[in-house]
Amino acid sequence: MTTDDDTEPDQAGVTHHSPTQVLKNFNEIRFLRIELPSGELGIDDGVLLKWRADFGSTLDNCVILGAASVFSNNKNSYVMEETDAICTTTTTTTTTTNNNGVDDNGSIPESFYTNGGLKLRVVWTISSLIAASARHYLLQPIIAEHKTLDSLVLTDADGQGVLCMNREQLEELRVKPLSASSASKRTLVPALNMRLWYAPQLELPDGVVLKGATLVAIRPSDHAATKKDVTDVSWLSTAFEEPYGTAAKMLVKRRTYCLEMNSF
């Protein structure tokens, strides 16, 4: 066995190979799923944060589901306080609402803005996008060398994030090189249009309760309307496994809040 720049021994003396090194002797790969040992985002115990992103040469779409705490309705719960974080300017619009049995008209309470709740969600969103764009950047050599790929998925053992690319998206990256961030080894995130749904408490059919449940749907500003109608939320229903897929379906029936974010 030979080693090169793609291998590195850990403290136990075990040599780890990069995916590029492992796959170099495979000539025809159609479907590839890579699992990282853990997710990139360090979050507090009890906090839920999941994301799924689709990429071509740049981000096509991303959906993020978060909650301050998760518990069963037949057990005592501990609700984590939301910490302060950096925020961006936001604008809001309204749509049809569904209150999940709570007479709040689907609106975000004023405390969400004053106690750092919105700022924390912005940090979750930025952190998830950075993690997704870093994964996308690392996949470049594999995509370039394995032109028979029809599907590529990069996930992690924690179930935190999933990056997906289909054959059309893979081919797009081969003919249209990505724009890399000057600050780090990741793909540049374009200017974004985002929609946010929030529920102070969301009880799912299986008894799981999400405190401070938040869903964020993200598309690039320059082609959000051309690839799919911006009012279409059907693509969100399959983003997460159960029970979190149901949580996403419930949240999109509530009031919609719109945000914009610059490229970074």
Q: How far apart, in whole angstroms, are the C-alpha atoms of residue 164 and residue 132? A: 10
Q: How confident is the model at residue 17 (pLDDT cuts 50, 70, 90)?
A: low
Residue tagged 């992103």 (tokens):
53
Are 260 and 230 a contacting pair, CB within 8 Å?
A: no
Eight-class DSSP state of 85: -
Task: Work out the percent of the chain whose per-residue pLDDT is above 90.
Answer: 48
Model pLDDT for residues 34-69, shown as the tens digit of each residue? 999 888 888 888 899 999 999 999 999 999 999 999
Q: What is the pTM of this model?
A: 0.78
* Whole-number pLDDT of residue 104: 57
List strand residue ranges (DSSP E) for 56-148, in order.
59-67, 69-72
Residue 27 vs residue 58, higher pLDDT: 58
Buried b (16+ CB within 10 A) or exposed e, 233-255: beebeebbeeebebbbebbbbbb
pLDDT surpassing 50 at residue 198: yes
Mean per-residue pLDDT of the chain: 79
pLDDT surpassing 50 at residue 96: no
Model pLDDT for residues 99-138, shown as the tens digit of each residue? 344 445 567 888 888 888 889 999 999 999 999 999 999 9
In 3-state terms, what secondary structure has residue 133? Answer: helix
Residue 114 vs residue 143, higher pLDDT: 143
